Amino acid sequence: MTEGLQQNVLNNYDILKKHESEYGYSLDECLKTDRIAEFDELLTVPLNKGKTLTDFYKRASCTGRIQNIKVPTLLVHSLDDPVCIPEGIPF
């Protein structure tokens, strides 16, 4: 897990811990992982009431909606973004 993501979880530990049984995740297991996909499967999917990791990623993606944007739009991300890789930037 990235340091920033882990710090976010630790900053909200008490709140997230309080809702473990309600959403069906183990916060301590989430903190042990070093893979974002595994973290998403363990925490993000249950928090967003997703069925599977694939289902969550599909619903969270803009792929099925981006073509419906009617006004000029500027999308910005950094070169070191772990999700939007530099090869996707049309220089």
Chain centroid to Cα 23, Å, comes to 16
Tally of residues, the chain: 91
Q: What angle do CA 52, 55, 56 make, to 5 degrees?
A: 85
Give the SS3 label for residue 10.
helix
Q: What is the pLDDT of residues 60-90, one digit of tens each?
A: 888 888 889 999 988 888 888 877 778 877 6
Q: What angle do CA 19, 22, 25 make, to 5 degrees?
A: 75
Q: What is the pLDDT of residues 43-56, one digit of tens each?
A: 999 999 889 999 99
Chain centroid to Cα 79, Å, comes to 18
Taking the model in full, what pTM does it have? 0.72
Q: Where are the domains of the chain?
A: 3-88
